[in-house]
Chains A and B, each alone.
Chain A
Amino acid sequence: MSKVMVLFAHPGQRHSQINLDLANVARSVDDIGFVDLYADYPRFKIDVDREQERLLVHDVIVFQFPVYWYSTPSLLKEWQDLVLEYGFAYGPGGDKLAGKLLVPVVTAGGLQDAYREDGRNNFPLRTLLSPLEQTANLCQMVYVPPLVLFAALSARNDGRADDHIKQYRLLLEALRDGRFDVEAARRRDLLSDGALPVLESV
Chain B
Amino acid sequence: MDSFLFQTFIYLLAAVVAVPIANRLGLGSVLGYLIAGVVIGPMIGLVGSETQDLQHFAEFGVVMMLFLVGLELEPKALWDMRAKLLGLGGLQVAGTTLAVMAACMLFALPWSVSLAIGLVFSLSSTAIVLQTLNEKGLMKSDGGQSSFSVLLFQDIAVIPMLALIPLLALPELAEHAAQAGEHGEEAGHGSGFHLMDGLAGWQVALVNLAAVAAVIFGGHFLSRPLFRFIAAARLREIFTAAALLMVIAIALLMTLVGLSPALGTFLAGVVLANSEFRHELESDIAPFKGLLLGLFFITVGAGIDFAILFSQFWFVLGLTLGVMALKALVLLALALFFKIKGPDRWLFALGLAQAGEFGFVLLSFCVQSFVIPGEIADTLLLVVALSMLLTPALFIFHDKVIAARSDSGQEHENDQITEKGTAIIAGHGRFGQIVNRVLLSNNHKTVVLDHRADLIEGLRKFGARVFFGDATRPDLLHAAGLHDAELLVVAIDEPDQAIDLVRHARREHPDLHIIARAEDRMAVYRLYAAGANDIIRETFDSSVRASRCALEALGMHAYEAEKAITVFVDHDRAAIRKLAQVWKPDISVFDDPEYIALAKEVNAQLEAAMAGDRSALHDKTDRGWTPPGRVKGLTD
Of the residues B557, B628, B636, contact of A14 by C-beta under 8 Å: B557
In the bound complex, do residue B622 and residue A153 qualify as a contact, i.e. CB atoms below 8 Å apart? no
Tell me whether A38 and B558 are in contact in the complex, defined as CB-CB below 8 angstroms, given that A12-B622, A110-B636, A153-B635 are known contacts: yes
Q: Is the CB of A15 within 8 A of B559?
A: no
Q: Which of A15, A43, A114 contacts B636 (CB 8 A)?
A: A114
Tell yes or no: B562 within 8 A of A by CB.
yes
**Is the CB of A39 closer than 8 A to any CB of chain B?**
yes
Other than the known A12-B627, A38-B558, A39-B559, what 19 A-B pairs have Cβ atoms closer than 8 Å? Answer: A12-B624, A12-B625, A13-B559, A13-B560, A14-B557, A14-B560, A14-B622, A15-B627, A17-B629, A42-B558, A109-B627, A109-B629, A110-B636, A120-B636, A151-B636, A153-B628, A153-B635, A154-B629, A154-B635
**Residues 148-164 of A contacting B (Cβ, < 8 Å):** 151, 153-154
| Docked pose: A91 CA to B614 CA in angstroms | 47
Chain B, residue nearest A153 (CB)? B629
- The CB with the most chain B CB atoms within 10 A, among A42, A109, A110, A151, is that of A42
A1-21 CB contacts (< 8 Å) to partner B: 11-17
A15 touches B558 (CB 8 A): no
Please determine whether B557 and A109 come into contact, CB atoms closer than 8 angstroms: no
Which of chain B's residues have a CB closer than 8 A to the CB of A109? 627-629, 636
19 A–B contacts from the bound complex (CB under 8 Å) = A11-B624, A11-B625, A12-B622, A12-B625, A12-B627, A14-B622, A15-B622, A15-B627, A17-B629, A38-B559, A39-B559, A42-B558, A42-B559, A42-B562, A109-B627, A110-B636, A120-B636, A151-B636, A153-B636
- Nearest B residue to A151 by beta-carbon distance? B636
Residue of A nearest to B625 (CB): A12
Chain A positions within 8 Å of B629 at CB level: 17, 109, 153-154
The verdict on A129 contacting chain B, using a C-beta distance below 8 Å, is no
Whether A170 is near chain B, meaning CB under 8 Å from some CB there, is no
Asked, given contacts A109-B636, A110-B636, A114-B636, whether A12 binds B558 with beta carbons under 8 Å apart, the answer is no
Q: Decide if A35 is an interface residue (CB 8 Å cutoff).
A: no
A75-B32 Cα distance, complex, nearest whole Å: 68
Across-interface contacts of B626 in A (CB, < 8 A): 12, 15
Q: Are B636 and A111 in contact (CB under 8 A)?
A: yes
What chain A residues lie within 8 Å of B627 (beta carbons)?
Answer: 12, 15-17, 109, 153
Q: Report which of A16, A36, A42, A154 forms a contact with B561, defined as CB distance below 8 A.
A: A42
Residue B578, interface by CB 8 Å: no
Q: How far is the CA of A151 from the CA of B634 in the complex (A)?
A: 12
* A12→B626 CA distance, assembly (Å): 7
Residues of B with C-beta under 8 A to A114: 636
Known A-B contacts A109-B629, A153-B627, A153-B628; the reply to A11 vs B559 at CB < 8 A is: yes
Contact A39/B557 with A14-B622, A154-B629 known, Cβ cut-off 8 Å = yes
Residues of the B chain whose Cβ atoms lie less than 8 Å from the Cβ of A12? 622, 624-627
Q: For B437, what are the chain A residues with a Cβ–Cβ distance below 8 Å?
A: none
Q: Nearest-CB distance from B135 to chain A (Å)?
A: 50
B142 to A: closest C-beta gap in Å:
45
Confirm or deny: B82 has a beta carbon within 8 angstroms of a beta carbon on chain A.
no
Q: How far is the CB of A114 from chain B (nearest CB, A)?
A: 6
**Complex interface bits, B542-575 against A, C-beta within 8 A gives 1, otherwise 0:** 0000000000000001111110000000000000
B561 to A, closest residue via Cβ = A42
Residue interface bits A93-129, CB-to-B below 8 A is 1, else 0: 0000000000000000111001000001000000000
The reply on B234 being an interface residue by CB < 8 A is no
Count chain A residues whose beta carbon lies closer than 8 angstroms to a beta carbon of B.
21
B630 at the interface (CB under 8 A from A): yes
Chain A, Cβ-Cβ closest to B626 = A15
| Residues on A with beta carbons closer than 8 Å to the beta carbon of B614 | 14
Q: How far is the CA of A15 from the CA of B629 in the complex (A)?
A: 11
Q: How far is the CA of A39 from the CA of B560 in the complex (A)?
A: 9
Contact assessment for A39 and B558 in the assembled complex, using a CB-CB cutoff below 8 Å: yes
In chain B, what residue has the closest Cβ to A16?
Answer: B627
Binding site for A on B (CB under 8 A): 557-562, 614, 622, 624-630, 635-636
The complex places the Cα of A39 from the Cα of B559 at a distance, in Å, of: 6
Whole-angstrom CA separation of A195 from B4 in the bound complex: 112
| Residues in chain B near residue A40, CB distance under 8 A | 558
What are the interface flags for A14-30 relative to B under an 8 Å C-beta threshold, 1 for contact and 0 otherwise?
11110000000000000
A14 contact set on B, CB distance < 8 A: 557, 560, 614, 622
**Residue among B561, B629, B630, B635 facing the most chain A CB atoms (10 A cut-off):** B629
CA gap between A111 and B635 in the complex, in Å: 10
A153 to B626, CA, bound (A): 12
In the assembled complex, how far is the CB of residue B123 from the closest CB belonging to chain A, in whole angstroms? Answer: 64
**Chain A: minimal CB distance from B618 (Å):** 11
Distance to closest chain B CB from A83 (angstroms): 18
In Å, the complex CA distance between A58 and B562 comes to 30
Q: Is the beta-carbon distance between B557 and A13 smaller than 8 angstroms?
A: yes
Q: Tell me the complex Cα distance, A11–B628, Å.
A: 14
Q: How far is the CA of A38 from the CA of B635 in the complex (A)?
A: 26
Verify B625–A43 contact, CB threshold 8 A: no
Alpha-carbon distance A47/B559, docked complex (angstroms)? 16
- Provide the bound-state CA to CA distance between A17 and B559, in Å: 18
B155 CB, nearest partner CB in chain A, Å: 58
Output the least CB separation between B398 and chain A (Å).
55
* B630 CB contacts on chain A under 8 angstroms: 15
Q: In the complex, A120 Cα to B624 Cα: how many Å?
A: 22
A71 CA / B559 CA spacing, docked (Å): 20
**B622 cross-chain contacts in A, Cβ below 8 A:** 12, 14-15
Whole-angstrom distance from the CB of B457 to the nearest CB of chain A? 38
Best-buried of A17, A38, A114 by chain B (most CB within 10 Å): A38
Chain B neighbourhood of A110, CB < 8 A: 636
Q: Which residues of B contact A43 (CB under 8 A)?
A: 562
Given the contacts A12-B625, A109-B629, A153-B628, A38 and B636 also touching, CB distance less than 8 Å: no
> With the chains together, A154 CA to B628 CA distance in Å?
12
- In the bound assembly, the distance between CA atoms of A120 and B614 in angstroms comes to 30
User: With A15-B622, A43-B562, A151-B636 in contact, do A38 and B557 touch (Cβ < 8 Å)?
Assistant: yes
CB-nearest residue of chain A relative to B548? A42
Q: How far is the CB of A18 from chain B (nearest CB, A)?
A: 10
C-alpha gap A110/B629 in the complex (Å): 10
Q: Complex formed: what's the CA distance from A11 to B624 in Å?
A: 9
* Minimum Cβ distance to chain B for residue A80 (Å): 18
- Please indicate the chain B residues that have their CB under 8 angstroms from the CB of A154 in the complex: 629, 635
Distance in angstroms between the alpha carbons of A15 and B614 in the assembled complex: 9
Closest-CB distance, A15 to chain B (whole angstroms): 6
A100 to B622, CA, bound (A): 36
Q: Which single residue of chain B is at the shortest CB-CB distance from A111?
A: B636
Smallest CB-CB A-B distances: 7 pairs: A12-B625, A153-B629, A42-B562, A38-B559, A42-B558, A42-B559, A39-B558
